[in-house]
Chain A
Amino acid sequence: MISIYTNRTVLILVTLLLTACGADNGSRTPGVSVSFEAMPSPATAAVMTSGAKTIVSGANTIILTKAYVTITNIALQTDCAGSPIFSLAPIIDMLLPTAYAHTEATPTSTGEPFVIDVLATDNVAISVGQVEPLPADYCGASISLSAADADANNLPIGESVPNDMVGITLYLEGTYNGGNAFQAQTGATLPDRNMLLTPMLSLSASNKSPTVTIEFNYDTWFDGVDPAAINNTILFQNMLNSLQRG
């Protein structure tokens, strides 16, 4: 025969159990992440709003009416000592053929192509990817520029750009010195721009989600370039040189 005492004990236990079963929750606190942003930002010229942008380069006045660059990957680096070209733009001596590479995302690399409209409003950054690396000190970032694929973000669809930038790394269109039209484009893979991060990007519990901003100093692109006979090597070299940490 079950006693009253036993009944009460069972009741208390069942109540305890049901109360405990009601506790059902999960939570997540994000870990380390680095956001990458990019923006057009003139090195010396006045800041402009979106639309055609005027560049004065030596005796030439260039009006850019279309300007797109494809970033296919940004990778954080922990070892910069062995690379003499870190912080300097690489010297272009060979352009690799078009590669529609959708590189693989890793904890330290975005792996996601993104087309930058350089004629957007200056100094307004847009997100071009995020990585979730381990806490560590990162001395540099390697920026890969190559042809966009059909899955690239921010393709300029409907902007009258050849093939909507698919298969294109850099596309420029505009006029120089009072209405002379010019166009420049490549689908080649450019050498990586290895950018030194100074001060070093130290990721830790006290610095869990910093942002790295990449500036395109587009007003330097035509330095030493004759718009009447554009030398792609110099133009592309200038473009790589113009990528700076914001």
Chain B
Amino acid sequence: MFLSPVAYACSTCMVGDPTQTLMGAEKPYKDRLRFSLDIMGRDESVGQAGVNQNNIDEVRTSFNLAWAPSQRMMLSVGVPIVDRQLDMATLAQEEVTSLGDVTINIKTFMQEKENFVRNMYGLLAGVRLPTATEQKVNGAPLDFDVQPGTGATTFNVGAWYAHYRFPWLFYISSAYHIANEGDQQFQAGDALVLNASVQYAANHKLSFPIGLEARWSDKDNFAGVVEENSGGVLAYIAPGVIYTLKEDLLINFAVKVPVVEELNGFHEEGSIITFGITYDFDLHK
């Protein structure tokens, strides 16, 4: 197969692997630069129905940029815009649209070879910064559940492994999250997050990933008082689809359905819908 100069500049050509990869699962090459726009919708209820239940609806739009300074490292930054609505048991309603907490992540690639490798692995580390402004009305802070961020700095460290064997992609990562105290004396419980996915490509333009996203977290507390309706185990199964609209431009859609909800107290999380586009900047023509 002959590759034209333009085709040779395509991101999959640069890594020698036609696997469609969303942000975070890509193979790096020096100066690889990717952008993604992800829109996520979710809902959650905390508290006892008919007593003190808060219902939260959230739409989060994230602008993400990832750059590889070398074939051994990817750096990424995520800037979310958060729209949250809180419906309280008293019929009071609060709504916020604001910049959320910015995340910065680093991912290393530690496999022996750099090119044409099928098995890749490395370490993950990241920080979520308290860039969201605590939202107030008439000087009084809105409920913590509707705030666009926690006001805390959260660190995470972990590891990942991927096996690329077109048309298959297997990916697994895990990270431990720990945070300091945030606004309203909130202290998030530590969390362990696991992501695993299998992706099958029907052809070079269409793939079907299915993932398992699980999280264990300790109980949160406010001013040292444990929030009983927090923490526990939650796992989603997440089938999706990825389609190449044009060269270097992917569109993806997924539905995450909770399959394990062993959350403490009165706390339920609903399904999550995600939609996104991922674009590779062409820096190598």
Using CB atoms and an 8 Å cutoff, list the residues of chain A in contact with chain B.
1-3, 5-6, 9-10, 13, 16-17, 20-21, 23-33, 107, 132-135, 204-205, 208
Contact = CB atoms under 8 A, between A and B. Distances in A.
Contacts of B51: 134
B56 to A, nearest CB: 14
Contact of A132 (B61, B90, B93, B96): B90
Interface of B: 35, 50-51, 61, 63, 79, 81, 88-99, 133, 135-137, 142, 146, 279, 281-283, 285
10 contacts: A1-B285, A2-B281, A5-B282, A9-B279, A9-B281, A20-B63, A20-B81, A25-B135, A27-B94, A32-B90
Nearest to B86: A28
Contact of A13 (B35, B92, B137): B35
A25 B96 contact: yes
Nearest to B279: A9
A113 to B, nearest CB: 24
Contact of A31 (B91, B99, B142, B281): B91
Given A25-B96, A26-B135, A3 B285 contact: yes
Nearest to A208: B91
Contacts of B146: 26
B93 A28 contact: yes
A208 B90 CA distance: 9
A28 B94 contact: yes
A28 B143 CA distance: 10
A1 B63 contact: no
Contacts of B283: 1-3, 6
A2 B282 CA distance: 7
Nearest to A14: B63
A30 B133 CA distance: 22
Residue from the set A9, A17, A107 with the largest chain B CB neighbour count within 10 Å: A17
7 smallest CB-CB distances across A and B, nearest first, come from A31-B92, A26-B135, A31-B90, A31-B91, A29-B93, A26-B96, A20-B81
Contacts of A135: 89-91
A25 B98 contact: yes
B94 to A, nearest CB: 5
Contacts of B88: 31
A205 B91 contact: yes
Nearest to B281: A6
B94 A26 contact: yes
A79 to B, nearest CB: 15
Contacts of B92: 28-32, 132
B95 to A, nearest CB: 5
A156 B285 CA distance: 85
Nearest to A19: B81
Given A6-B283, A134-B50, A23 B137 contact: no
Nearest to A22: B99
